[in-house]
């Protein structure tokens, strides 16, 4: 956008005069919009800063859009022509020209959500889903080629246990209602019984080996568990408005694992350790366990096969794994194994913190009932009550209540850096003021209401500059930089913070001056700024996965 263009011009002028590259910053204090220190340059060129400034002053002042240039306390300050900046900002957004070409396009695989079948969807999986989906939208928006994969946990010795438990303690009818909760209970029961009768482990192991070989009875049961689980998971995906490009579970890699293990063997990486196969990874981390004593494969084995598959099949050089902090070691090991195998695959563990309630790890298990859905239901109910109070005549209240509740949960998740723990407090996150989803949604609704009063018309000759209009234009100009930083740090929180900043900046303009006045042309131009602000705010919300509303 215009700010970047002017910044580039300034940098070019300095380069032309002194053959010296400098990076101009957005001024944090004072009235100037751009600034940079001249110490380094003057030292390098053995000229006093004042001399440097004198040589730059005229060519800088000649740049289109620059109104003044000053030198204070060793800093070069650049003042922009406000009317010019506001007009060009609006113009770029209105004509959808606010992103530059992404030069470093990449093929990126994002592995997110990835719950385990026959187990409940946990709050941790909600975090993975929300963060991963947001990154997928961000990368795609910036022009990268993205493959979003739901790497279902649908394979491993636990399914031997599951099937054993179902055949011995379960019956068909039990899966008619809340099947996942029931399956999880069976699994817990298996572990209790196993403590009394250790030979159960061998039986379960035997069942899994049979399953791996394709035993039809076991396969049919496993298939049924999978279908039931996906049905439950889809409830969350629909609610959160989340898509995947592929749902490829761990079981898919069954036929790729032999090759991967063979390759490790050929590369002389495998070592026998008490009949198990491991890869020693050096002094700074424990070895990777590739095959157990009984020949069964592990989570790690499947992750190695999956990474190689993604690299070959999707031509991905970077794979993001959106998984909690607690699996940090696993992904460091995975990277090391792939390095040792000679693959150029970059593993990025997009880690995140816990979900806390009153400072303690949030539990959605109360007396065996599944309460995560109940948490969402409560959020929707609370937001419905708030809407009922604020706007009783609103149409489609249920739909809006759902959007507000889900937006609140998503924003609460994404507003802080992802590696931090988040506090899950429904009444706080549903407030219409403060750092919340509803606050952002409400700001967009307020903008929509203004735009219904008067059509925005862009007038290049009309000056609407003011401190607040200028501040807002500056924030709009920082959208792309924000996205680029979010992309390179894998932090959707940067977009969330940006949306908050944009909302606050708009609301101070709204609070400080009347936007629609007698002066119709001025009002139309002002509404054009509102329109541009709404475009960018809505785009930020969409990237986060928060619904955009016209009324609430």
Q: Are 81 and 42 in contact (CB under 8 A)?
A: no
The one segment of 107-115, 131-139, 176-184, 438-446 that binds ligand ARG by CB under 6 A: 107-115
CA dist., res. 118 & res. 220, Å (int): 14
300 alpha carbon, distance to own chain's centre = 25
Q: Tell the smallest beta-carbon distance from residue 115 to ligand ARG (Å).
A: 6
Closest separation in Å from C-beta 508 to ligand ARG: 43
**H/E segment holding residue 150:** strand 145-150
Tell me the C-alpha to C-alpha distance, in Å, between residue 294 and each of 226, 253, 297.
Answer: 25, 19, 9
Q: Quick check: 492 and 131 in contact, CB under 8 A?
A: yes
Q: Is 347 in the site for ligand ARG (CB under 6 A)?
A: no
| Both structure tokens of 453 | 């009063």
Question: Which residue of 166, 233, 321, 439 would you call a contact of ligand ARG, by CB under 6 A?
Answer: 321
Quote the least distance from Cβ 25 to ligand ARG, whole Å: 39
* Region from 113-121, 348-356, 418-426, 432-440 binding ligand ARG, contact rule CB under 6 A: 113-121
Is residue 153 a contact residue for ligand ARG (CB under 6 A)?
A: yes
Render 244-301 in DSSP notation, one character per residue.
-SEE--GGGGHHHHHHHHHHHHHTT--EEETTEEEE---TTSPPEEEE-TTS-B-HHH
By the 8 A CB rule, do 148 and 110 touch?
yes
**C-alpha distances out from residue 127 to 87, 257, 325, Å:** 40, 29, 12
Minimum CB–partner distance for residue 294 and ligand ARG (Å): 22
Comparison of 153 and 407: residue with beta carbon closer to ligand ARG? 153
Q: What is the DSSP string of 349-403?
A: EEEE--EEETTEE---EETTEE-HHHHHHHHHHHHHHHHHHH-TT-SSHHHHHHH
Q: Which is nearer to ligand ARG, 337 or 495 (CB)?
A: 337
Run of H or E including 330: helix 328-341
Considering only residues 83, 116, 157, 540, which one is a binding residue for ligand ARG as defined by CB under 6 A? 116
CB of 213 to ligand ARG, least distance (A): 23
C-alpha to C-alpha distance for 307 and 421, rounded to whole angstroms: 28
Return the residue nearest ligand ARG (CB atom).
153
Kindly tell me which of 347 and 532 has the beta carbon lying closer to ligand ARG. 347
168-207: contacts with ligand ARG (CB under 6 A): none
CB of 302 to ligand ARG, least distance (A): 8
Helix (H) and strand (E) counts for the chain? 20, 17
> Rounded to the nearest whole angstrom, what is the least distance from the CB of residue 151 to ligand ARG in the complex?
4
Quote the CA–CA distance of 205 and 214 in Å, as a whole number: 14
Distance between CA atoms of residues 164 and 169, nearest Å:
8
Tokens describing residue 434: 């403060």
Residue 111 makes contact with ligand ARG by CB under 6 A: yes
CB 162 → ligand ARG: shortest distance, Å? 15
**Token output for 393:** 């005549």
Q: How far is the CB of 203 from ligand ARG (least distance, A)?
A: 25
**Residues 529-548 as x/- pattern, contact with ligand ARG by CB under 6 A:** --------------------
Distance CA 469, CA 89 (A): 11
Which of 158, 241 has the CB closer to ligand ARG?
A: 158
**Window of 109-117, 193-201, 254-262, 386-394 that interacts with ligand ARG by CB under 6 A:** 109-117
Using the contact rule CB under 6 A, the part of the chain among 84-92, 110-118, 136-144, 379-387 near ligand ARG is 110-118
* 117 binds ligand ARG, rule: CB under 6 A: no
Residue 92 has, within 13 A of its CA and on its CB side, a CA count of: 23
Q: Give the nearest distance from C-beta 325 to ligand ARG in angstroms.
A: 12
- As measured in angstroms, the least distance from the Cβ of 52 to ligand ARG is 54
Nearer to ligand ARG, 323 or 354 (CB): 323
Give whichever of 151 and 418 is closer to ligand ARG, judged by the CB atom: 151
Query: Of 261, 281, 323, 362, which one interacts with ligand ARG (CB under 6 A)?
Result: 323
The residues, ordered by sequence, that sit 6+ positions from 341 with a Cβ below 8 Å of its Cβ are: 263, 264, 267, 269, 304, 308
Nearer to ligand ARG, 78 or 362 (CB): 362
Residue 303 or residue 547: which is nearer to ligand ARG going by CB? 303
Q: Which is nearer to ligand ARG, 300 or 426 (CB)?
A: 300
Candidates 81, 83, 89, 114; binder of ligand ARG (CB under 6 A) is: 114
Residues in 292-311 that interact with ligand ARG by CB under 6 A: 303, 306
Please state, in angstroms and rounded to a whole number, the distance separating the CA atoms of residues 352 and 194: 33
Count residues contacting ligand ARG (CB under 6 A)? 10
Residue 232 binds ligand ARG, judged by CB under 6 A: no
Q: Which is nearer to ligand ARG, 76 or 306 (CB)?
A: 306
Cα distance between residue 180 and residue 175, in whole Å:
8
In eight-state DSSP terms, residue 461 is: T
SS3 425: coil
Contact pattern for ligand ARG over residues 259 through 298, marking x by CB under 6 A: ----------------------------------------
Pairing type for strands 355-357 and 346-352 reads unpaired
Question: Do the Cβ atoms of 139 and 108 come closer than 8 Å?
Answer: yes
Indicate the residue among 148 and 153 with the shorter CB distance to ligand ARG. 153
Min. distance of Cβ 150 from ligand ARG in angstroms? 9
Residue from 464, 439, 468 nearest 527 by CA: 464
Q: How far is the CB of 330 from ligand ARG (least distance, A)?
A: 7
Instruction: Return d(Cα 181, Cα 488) in angstroms, integer.
Output: 39
Contact residues for ligand ARG, defined by CB under 6 A? 111, 114-116, 151, 153, 303, 306, 321, 323
């Amino acid at each position: 956008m215009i700010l970047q263009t002017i910044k580039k011009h300034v940098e070019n002028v300095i380069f032309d005069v002194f053959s010296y590259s400098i990076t101009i910053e957005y001024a944090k204090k004072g009235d100037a919009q751009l600034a940079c220190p001249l110490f380094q340059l003057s030292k390098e060129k053995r000229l006093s800063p004042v001399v440097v400034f004198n040589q730059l002053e005229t060519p800088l002042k000649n740049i289109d859009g620059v109104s003044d240039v000053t030198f204070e306390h060793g800093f070069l300050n650049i003042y922009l022509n406000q009317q010019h900046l506001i007009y060009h900002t609006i113009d770029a957004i209105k004509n959808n020209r606010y992103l530059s070409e992404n030069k470093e396009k990449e093929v990126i695989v994002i592995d997110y959500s990835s719950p385990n079948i026959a187990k409940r969807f946990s709050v941790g999986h909600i975090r993975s889903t929300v963060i991963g989906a947001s990154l997928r939208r961000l990368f795609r928006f910036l022009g990268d080629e993205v493959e979003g994969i739901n790497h279902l946990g649908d394979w491993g010795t636990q399914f031997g246990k599951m099937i054993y438990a179902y055949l011995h303690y379960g019956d068909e009818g039990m899966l008619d209602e809340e099947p996942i909760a029931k399956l999880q209970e069976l699994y817990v029961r298996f572990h209790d019984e196993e403590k009394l009768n250790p030979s159960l482990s061998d039986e379960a192991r035997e069942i899994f080996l049979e399953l791996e070989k394709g035993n039809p009875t076991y396969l049919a049961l496993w298939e049924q568990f999978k279908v039931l689980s996906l049905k439950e998971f889809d409830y969350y995906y629909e609610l959160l408005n989340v898509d995947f490009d592929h749902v490829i579970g761990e079981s898919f890699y069954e036929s790729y694992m032999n090759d991967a293990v063979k390759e490790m063997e050929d590369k002389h990486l495998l070592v026998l350790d008490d009949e198990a196969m491991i890869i020693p990874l050096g002094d700074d981390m424990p070895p990777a366990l590739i095959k157990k004593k009984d020949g069964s494969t592990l989570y790690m084995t499947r992750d190695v096969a999956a990474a190689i598959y993604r690299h070959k099949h999707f031509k991905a050089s970077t794979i993001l794994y959106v998984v909690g902090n607690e699996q940090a070691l696993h992904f460091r090991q995975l990277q090391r194994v792939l390095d040792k195998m000679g693959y150029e695959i970059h593993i990025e563990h997009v880690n995140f913190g816990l979900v806390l309630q009153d400072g303690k790890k949030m539990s959605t298990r109360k007396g065996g009932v599944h309460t995560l859905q109940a948490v969402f239901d409560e959020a929707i109910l609370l937001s419905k009550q708030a809407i009922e109070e604020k706007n009783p005549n609103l149409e489609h209240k249920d739909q809006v209540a759902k959007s507000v509740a889900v937006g609140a949960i998503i924003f609460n998740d994404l507003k802080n850096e992802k590696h931090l723990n988040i506090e899950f407090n429904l009444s706080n996150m549903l407030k219409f003021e403060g750092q919340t989803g509803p606050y952002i949604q409400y700001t967009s609704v307020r903008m929509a209401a203004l735009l219904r009063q008067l059509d925005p018309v862009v007038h290049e000759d009309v000056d609407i500059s003011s401190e607040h209009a200028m501040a807002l234009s500056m924030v709009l100009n920082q959208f792309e930089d924000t996205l680029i930083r979010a992309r390179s740090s894998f932090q959707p929180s940067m977009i969330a913070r940006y949306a908050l900043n944009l909302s606050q900046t708009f609301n101070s303009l709204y609070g400080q001056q009347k936007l629609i006045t007698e002066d119709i042309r001025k009002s139309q131009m002002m509404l054009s700024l509102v329109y541009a602000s709404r475009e960018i705010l809505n785009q930020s919300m969409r990237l986060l996965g928060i619904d955009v509303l016209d009324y609430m």
